[in-house]
Chain A
Amino acid sequence: MAEIEHYTLNFGPQHPAAHGVLRMILEMDGETIERADPHVGLLHRATEKLAEIKPYNQSIGYMDRLDYVSMMCNEHAYVLAIEKLLGIEAPKRAQYIRVMFAEITRILNHLMWLGAHGLDVGAMTMFLYCFRDREPLMDAYEAVSGTRMHATYYRPGGVYRDLPDTMPQYEKSPWRNDKKLKELNANRQGSLLDFLWDFTEQFDSSVDEYESLLTENRIWKQRLVGIGVVSPERAFQLGLTGPMLRGSGVAWDLRKMQPYDAYAEMDFDVPVGRNGDCYDRYLVRVEEMRQSNRIIRQCIEWLQKNPGPVMIDDHKIAPPKRADMKNDMESLIHHFKLFTEGYCVPEGETYAAVEHPKGEFGIYLMSDGANKPYRLKIRAPGFAHISAMDELAKGHMLADVVAIIGTMDIVFGEIDR
């Protein structure tokens, strides 16, 4: 009988560790990976083409659905690109709100990543802990935009509305007694900012909790240390960004180096790894959560002291107030024009990038002067990361592939677009 040297293994697209719909053809020698060929595109929706057929503002909602665990960061890049082409700038308060929610989103994303990565590698408890802490942040999303995930909250020229003065509260139900109800509503007595402040007070200790479960955990380290090592030179060559690049020891963070919105006024540190393996990237992301917490606190302090407009006053771009429309003809016309035709953007092209939780998320926007984009290109960090799969997985065992997928922080909404 002929001896079989290599065989191919089909991994996914229906695999719990594939983080969505990743299909991989693995060429194996025994249990060692010889070649990994990821097949993506199973979630391709042609977001870029769809954006070409609708006015600018109508695509903001699509941005949420790209990387569906860091919704507002996607919106942020898109909105910044439009603002750049229009040559406008959001009011200071809106910039702070955007930065605050971008950091809330970063924590949301990293918690999701930590939980799922833990689960992949065998730490079931992490998943439950992380989802527990995501809940208050989701509530903050809901309080400000009305939805827990797909917010459509950022707009060209600011944000949709100011932060609410009250937090929604839990109501009486047959399943909770009065004591429990009081407990649940204890931190919801003040405004959204008070609620978030309360969250930031205890979040650091939550991160300590995750770290006590994982950082020195023998199994965790055995699964991650020395897996998927990337040198800084290779990271540049492969187009890796974000924590994937910082894990290799490159201190590059767009929030610091090319600050947008109010990031220039924030005080925070950029963590970097040393070895460029999965474990260092884990440490980088955990530290990023602490830093995000710091930024949120700075934003809350500023926002509490500085009321003001959250949207520019130009009604050719931002809709007028509902109340004005009732007795002002011009407001009514502006509203009508904005919601039927949209606004025309001057001819030109621009690229706006943000430090997305996963890496550099960029929007290349091209306008020929019409009310719809001529071409929109979404630069998704995950797309570059997963294209490095073959190089990272080569020579590792099958079980390590799961750890590598986890460390790349892959979400198919953005990769397949």
Chain B
Amino acid sequence: MSQLLMDLVDKHFADKVLDKKIYRGQLTIEVDKSDLLSVCETLRDNDDFQFEQLIDLCGVDYLTYGQDEWSTHEASGSGFERGRASLDFDSAKEDSERRFAVVYHLLSVTLNHRIRVRVFADSEDMMVPSVIDIWNGVNWFEREAFDLFGILFEGHPDLRRILTDYGFIGHPFRKDFPVVGELEMRYDEEQEQCVYEPVTIEERILVPRVIR
């Protein structure tokens, strides 16, 4: 099934696909953002593909991919907290050419197959072309990826925040955004209004990230 699809992908855009892979029976292709719109249009309209539905779009932040938080070589003699190493954002950021990606999941109801398309955003301007003219329903999915990751979609008519609060600052699903957040809000009796302050709680890791 996926093999067949892979052959068709080879046939139609041999030079445009940067990377392709079948894993657990699912085909993933990677394209450059400059080719995204033409590839997507072919995927929707060509009789070999007929992906009439865009099921999902999501952002991915590759900043700490493959990093773990647990060193057992010297530290295991000295207790849990000392064995734990925090994730290293700074050196990861230095080589952040391929940090943010957008992943599209397409479904063809007519031919009953699926494909996953990945495109990396430009690290300078965070831009990816919007596919809203190809699949209209992507509107909110792109807004979500913008809200949570700060990826900008070129040509989107209404790129507003969607899930976070009105007036929220930052992009919370980036790997370097702390899980406890940056601001906390409370009602101040004296000022008789809500005030925002830096968070007072500390981030705790109960189960360290381990790669074995």
Interface of chain B residues 1 through 58 with chain A (CB within 8 A): 23-24, 26, 28, 52-56, 58
Q: Which B residues touch A384, using CB under 8 A?
A: 137, 140-141
Choice from B52, B205, B210 contacting A344 with Cβ under 8 Å: B210
Q: Which A residues touch B207, using CB under 8 A?
A: 54-55, 58, 340-342, 371-372
Q: Does B114 contact A (CB under 8 A)?
A: yes
Q: Using C-beta atoms within 8 Å of the partner chain, give the interface range for chain A.
A: 35 or more
Q: For the complex, give the distance between the alpha carbons of A370 and B24 in Å.
A: 18
Q: For the complex, give the distance between the alpha carbons of A40 and B144 in Å.
A: 11
Nearest-CB distance from B21 to chain A (Å)?
Answer: 9
Interface of chain A residues 368 through 417 with chain B (CB within 8 A): 368-372, 374-375, 377, 379, 383-384, 387-388, 416-417
Q: Which B residues touch A252, using CB under 8 A?
A: 109
Q: Does B200 contact A (CB under 8 A)?
A: no
Q: Which A residues touch B71, using CB under 8 A?
A: none
Q: A342-B207, A344-B212, A369-B66 are in contact. Are A351 and B140 (CB under 8 A)?
A: no
Q: For the complex, give the distance between the alpha carbons of A94 and B78 in Å.
A: 43
Task: Tell me whether B136 and A257 are in contact (CB under 8 A).
Answer: no
Q: How many residues of B contact A (CB 8 A)?
A: 45
Q: For the complex, give the distance between the alpha carbons of A64 and B189 in Å.
A: 37
Q: Flag the segment in A110-118, A235-243, A305-313 that touches B.
A: A235-243
Task: Tell me whether B211 and A344 are in contact (CB under 8 A).
Answer: yes
Q: A87-B24, A366-B60, A368-B66 are in contact. Are A351 and B209 (CB under 8 A)?
A: no
Nearest-CB distance from A20 to chain B (Å)?
Answer: 14
Task: Tell me whether A351 and B116 are in contact (CB under 8 A).
Answer: yes
Nearest-CB distance from B56 to chain A (Å)?
Answer: 4
Q: Does A199 contact B (CB under 8 A)?
A: no
Q: A49-B172, A364-B103 are in contact. Are A44 and B138 (CB under 8 A)?
A: no
Q: Does A46 contact B (CB under 8 A)?
A: yes
Q: Which A residues touch B55, using CB under 8 A?
A: 239, 241, 353, 360, 362, 379
Task: Tell me whether B137 and A375 are in contact (CB under 8 A).
Answer: no
Considering the complex, give the chain B residue whose CB is closest to the CB of A359: B55
Q: Does B68 contact A (CB under 8 A)?
A: yes
Q: A236-B52, A388-B137 are in contact. Are A370 and B173 (CB under 8 A)?
A: no
Q: Does B163 contact A (CB under 8 A)?
A: yes
Considering the complex, give the chain B residue whose CB is closest to the CB of A85: B24
Q: Does B183 contact A (CB under 8 A)?
A: no
Considering the complex, give the chain B residue whose CB is closest to the CB of A348: B23
Q: For the complex, give the distance between the alpha carbons of A372 and B52 in Å.
A: 33
Q: For the complex, give the distance between the alpha carbons of A238 and B140 in Å.
A: 10
Considering the complex, give the chain A residue whose CB is closest to the CB of B212: A344
Contact with B along A39-66 (1 / 0, CB 8 A): 0110010101110011100100000000
Q: Does B126 contact A (CB under 8 A)?
A: no
Contact with A along B76-96 (1 / 0, CB 8 A): 000000000000000000000
Q: Which A residues touch B58, using CB under 8 A?
A: 364, 375, 377
Interface of chain B residues 157 through 212 with chain A (CB within 8 A): 161-165, 172-173, 179, 205-207, 209-212
Q: For the complex, give the distance between the alpha carbons of A74 and B141 in Å.
A: 20
Task: Tell me whether A370 and B105 are in contact (CB under 8 A).
Answer: no
Q: Which B residues touch A241, using CB under 8 A?
A: 53, 55
Considering the complex, give the chain B residue whose CB is closest to the CB of A233: B52
Nearest-CB distance from A218 to chain B (Å)?
Answer: 35
Q: Which B residues touch A236, using CB under 8 A?
A: 52-53, 109
Task: Tell me whether B205 and A53 are in contact (CB under 8 A).
Answer: yes
Q: Does A258 contact B (CB under 8 A)?
A: yes
Task: Tell me whether B211 and A237 are in contact (CB under 8 A).
Answer: no
Nearest-CB distance from A150 to chain B (Å)?
Answer: 21
Task: Tell me whether A362 and B173 are in contact (CB under 8 A).
Answer: no
Q: For the complex, give the distance between the alpha carbons of A366 and B60 in Å.
A: 10
Q: Which A residues touch B163, using CB under 8 A?
A: 40-41, 44, 416-417
Task: Tell me whether A350 and B24 are in contact (CB under 8 A).
Answer: yes
Q: For the complex, give the distance between the alpha carbons of A368 and B140 in Å.
A: 28
Q: Which B residues touch A53, using CB under 8 A?
A: 179, 205
Q: Which B residues touch A315, using CB under 8 A?
A: none
Q: Which A residues touch B130, using CB under 8 A?
A: none
Q: Which A residues touch B205, using CB under 8 A?
A: 53
What are 11 A-B pairs at a CB distance below 8 A?
Answer: A40-B163, A44-B164, A48-B173, A241-B55, A258-B112, A350-B23, A350-B24, A368-B211, A370-B211, A371-B212, A377-B56
Rank and list the top 7 A-B pairs by shortest CB-CB distance, nearest first: A239-B137, A387-B140, A41-B163, A238-B137, A377-B58, A379-B56, A236-B52
Chain A residues at the B interface, C-beta cutoff of 8 Å:
40-41, 44, 46, 48-50, 53-55, 58, 84-85, 87, 236-241, 250, 252, 257-258, 340-342, 344, 348-351, 353, 360, 362, 364, 366, 368-372, 374-375, 377, 379, 383-384, 387-388, 416-417
